[in-house]
Copies of this chain bind each other. A is one copy, B any other.
Amino acid sequence: MSKKLTSRAEDYSKWYNELVVKADMAENSAVRGCMVIKPYGYAIWEKMQAELDKMFKETGHQNAYFPLFVPKSLFEAEEKNAEGFAKECAVVTHYRLQNDPDRPGKLRVDPDAKLEEELVVRPTSEAIIWNTYRNWIQSYRDLPILINQWCNVVRWEMRTRLFLRTAEFLWQEGHTAHATKAEALVEAKLMNNVYATFAENFMAIPVIQGVKTESERFAGAEETFCIEALMQDGKALQAGTSHFLGQNFAKAFDVKFANKEGKQDYVWATSWGVSTRLMGALIMTHSDDHGLVLPPSLAPNQVVIVPIYRTDEEFAAVSEVANGILKDLRSKGVTVKFDDRDTQRPGAKFAQHELQGVPLRVAIGPKDLQNGTVELARRDTLTKSVVALDDLTNTVENLLKEIQDSLFKKASDFRDSHITEVNSFEEFKDVLEKKTGFISAHWDGTNESEEKIKELTKATIRCIPLEMKEEEGVCVFSGAPSKGRVLFAKAY
């Protein structure tokens, strides 16, 4: 904790890696690419979960749980999906260990315990779920099915980074089944909109809603909706996706239903998910060179109270006031902690809470007791003020709201000032390298131009914005005609 954080200007990537560890959010584990999410990080994830879960339930979804393992024969049934994930699958081949005859006290895989069929550790659950839905759906009366699951998934990524890309991660995956194409499309858009609302209102992260190009779509989807955010270093981050899967999985798993006219038809599907990657988005949107900055809605502790004292008597007097504040703030629904550890000095506590992004810090010392005041420090602006004890609850309530709004505004201003319209490929490359951020440019709609641009610049089409306005133009790369601008960026 004592060693200073690398600054963002110095090395953004290093700053991120250090911050995640120093703020006690997560660390690498003994398993390649898998992380340990530490209590402080997990408490933030729990807040995200609780809010999302509420939003899912309010939109009619229920939670369920499906197996961790996907038998290989099911995994390969939807070919595009299988092809998309085959290269990064953890595969269970045996179900027993035995004593190693050559190394006393050690174990080895029991060669006699080979599974008849290998099991894939789920990288996503469409296959196992649609194989299950087949038995749940006979008629239109059984539809829609609106199910979500919170779970772990495994994708054997070669290059991993805490939260942003890990071999195992936590997520939620919604899997819905519908009688009509129109209804499934409405659902896919609705859930993308839920994600956008959550990101903006709860995480204070401005996002752009759009659809992915064919090459960036989820493997097996007919349309992928997404929310795209912009990090402080000018790189985009895909923060959530919602897929319209058409009848692909229904066909692969033979899931038919009798419609109202009594005719058999394949079921229409969506799936949608957000993951612990959102933790990375949170960090890279708001934090600064002093450490984490948390929107109050996500802070495990919105307020922390630090006592300043020399003697036991002073501590007792300060504690009494602190406990009164605790009670008042809690009655208003504010989460607050009294940091009365006697193993740390106030300065060390201040540093820790700053590093961990506690939105408001209250310090109370003997002088404050005399004056009927406290010192209130605001994490996002790093400003301090002296507040009358009588006004504290009110001030805290207002400030928490103000901080939440201010973080969103700050991030929105940054994002908005980093969407640059360009009209030539030279300009495209120039902005991408010097200014960074989203580049709004005409594109001819072909995979070839998209691939070539990616090859030459490392920028990808983040999305075709839902709110794209029609505008005649020519592709920034090929010069072929285009009907609107799409958003390019380098991305996480």
Binding site for B on A (CB under 8 A): 27, 29-31, 34-39, 42-43, 45-46, 62-72, 74-76, 79, 82, 86-99, 105-107, 109, 118-121, 128, 131-132, 141, 147, 151-152, 154, 156, 168, 170, 343
Contact = CB atoms under 8 A, between A and B. Distances in A.
A75 B107 contact: yes
A29 B128 contact: yes
A276 to B, nearest CB: 9
B86 A95 contact: no
A43 B62 contact: yes
Contacts of A42: 62-65
A330 to B, nearest CB: 14
Contact of A36 (B43, B66, B69): B66
Given A91-B92, A95-B89, A63 B43 contact: yes
A152 B121 CA distance: 12
B43 A141 contact: no
Contacts of A71: 30-31
B95 A92 contact: no
Contacts of A31: 67, 69-71, 119, 128
Given A31-B69, A68-B168, A91-B93, 14 more contacts: A30-B74, A30-B132, A31-B67, A31-B119, A34-B69, A36-B66, A36-B132, A37-B64, A67-B168, A88-B96, A91-B97, A93-B109, A141-B343, A152-B152
Nearest to A70: B31
19 contacts: A29-B66, A29-B67, A29-B128, A30-B67, A31-B119, A31-B128, A36-B65, A39-B62, A39-B64, A43-B63, A65-B170, A72-B107, A82-B97, A86-B97, A89-B96, A91-B96, A92-B92, A92-B121, A93-B93
A301 B46 CA distance: 24
A107 B127 CA distance: 14
Contact of A87 (B72, B86, B97): B97
A109 to B, nearest CB: 5
A109 B119 contact: no
A86 to B, nearest CB: 4
Contact of A96 (B92, B99, B156): B156
A355 to B, nearest CB: 17
A86 B94 contact: no
A91 B86 contact: no
Given A88-B95, A93-B91, A97-B72, A67 B105 contact: no
Contacts of A30: 67, 71, 74, 128, 131-132
B90 A95 contact: yes
A106 B67 contact: no
B62 A90 contact: no
A88 B113 CA distance: 10
Given A107-B75, A107-B86, A168 B94 contact: no
